[in-house]
Amino acid sequence: MNTNMHLINGAGVAYANGNHTNGHNGHNGHNGHNGSNSHNGHNGVATLTMTPSLLAPDLIPVRESPRRHYDTDFVVTDAYRESLPDLQNGPASLIQGSPVAIQQVGIHNFRLPLRYASRTGEPLLLETSVTGTVSLEAHKKGINMSRVMRTFYEHKDDTFDLDRLEEILHDYRTSLGSLDAHLILRFNYPMVNESLRSGLFGYQYYQVALEARMDRFGAVRKFIHFDFVYSSTCPCSYELAQHAIQERNIAAAPHSQRSVARVSVELNGFLWIEELRDLCLAALHTETQVMVKREDEQAFAELNAAYLKFVEDAVRLLHEQLDPEPRIKDFKVIASHQESLHSHDAISVLVKGVRGGFTPEVDPSVFATLIHR
């Protein structure tokens, strides 16, 4: 018997060719079947598979293990950069799951300091959380999310307002090759407030979000989301306390609580954040205080008694101030009175009712964000 050895993909394969025609007398092989070391071998051909460990050492391919080392001297060349894998911009064949369009994909809570225009004329440098998303067409694997961040760094020295957001939407929608684009900037906006009677001043910080949305036709909608924190004294509790005092000469205090109104407005024109705060203050009056002496605390008690309000009253009072403002196209108010009497909160939601505008639906998780610490 003659044996020939071949290497196939690094594995040893031996072929034993029988000297007897049709495998007769070839190790009990009948027409090559049942021959020694033969599996389905015809005409007396036996096939042997040999593992790499049976090969001569010089026939086994040897690959050196990669070094565990960070090369501080390595320089990326254009050619090397071009050779890097880019799965997100790969073909549609790389898509996992259903090949359908995605309405929003991007980044959330990317943080950097940005300058904002203020009504005083002095720009404010504020830590900002950015949420930036775009739409993704069905045939595309993904987006280059770092481009959203790079776009903001290109504008990091600008002064931001909603008009600047519109410019950035155009930039990053183009750079990402998307149809729709969406941006939200969240920050705490400081204003100096005066105490009620002592003449002291202190910084009140307001949770604000500027939002801009661009559709596939290039139309842009602009929004301000503003949290106003106030005290609400229950009218029913006040009357019951007065009854105890008048009828039984028993001291009684009505219950009041820290409350939050989240006011979202879609704009027709430019509106300062300070102006939106003024509208909220004119509606509700009982904003929580920063600097307080005894005369201020007494004044706050009088203020709460003068402006009693249920949660239903709060949203209607805000509607009364927001509705006539011509620069406000649409609005939505979510009020949460975080009850001191009850172990639950009282809530109310009101929208202006513009076709295609805000709807009264609220994700339940939103109410947890209305608790200000």
Q: What is the 3-state secondary structure of 14-43?
A: EEEECCCHHHCCECCEECCECCCCCCCCCC
Would you state the pLDDT for residue 259?
98
Would you state the pLDDT for residue 93?
84
Would you state the pLDDT for residue 331?
98
> At a CB cut-off of 8 Å and minimum separation 6, what does 359 contact?
351
Tens of each residue's pLDDT in the chain, 373 residues: 444 444 444 444 444 444 444 444 444 444 444 444 444 444 444 445 555 555 566 666 777 888 899 999 999 999 999 999 888 777 888 889 999 999 999 999 999 999 999 999 999 999 999 999 988 888 888 887 888 888 888 888 999 999 999 988 888 777 777 789 999 999 999 999 999 999 999 999 999 999 999 998 889 999 999 999 999 999 999 999 999 999 999 999 999 999 999 999 999 999 999 999 999 999 999 999 999 999 999 999 999 999 999 999 999 999 999 999 999 999 999 999 999 999 999 999 999 999 999 999 999 889 889 988 7
Indicate the pTM of the whole model: 0.80
Would you state the pLDDT for residue 66?
87
Domain residues of the chain, as ranges? 2-59, 219-368
Would you state the pLDDT for residue 257?
97
Q: Provide φ and ψ at 206, rounded to 5°.
A: -115, 130
Would you state the pLDDT for residue 44?
45
The first and second tokens of residue 225, run together, are: 């989301």
Between 2.40.30.10, 3.90.1150.10, 3.10.270.10, 3.40.50.720, what CATH number should domain 219-368 receive? 3.10.270.10
Would you state the pLDDT for residue 45?
47
Alpha-carbon gap, residue 157 to 152, rounded angstroms:
9
Would you state the pLDDT for residue 178?
79
Alpha-carbon gap, residue 217 to 363, rounded angstroms:
28
Would you state the pLDDT for residue 26?
43
Sign, CA dihedral 367-369-370-373, equals positive
Q: Is 303 left (phi over 0), alpha (psi -120 to 50) or beta?
A: alpha
Would you state the pLDDT for residue 56?
63
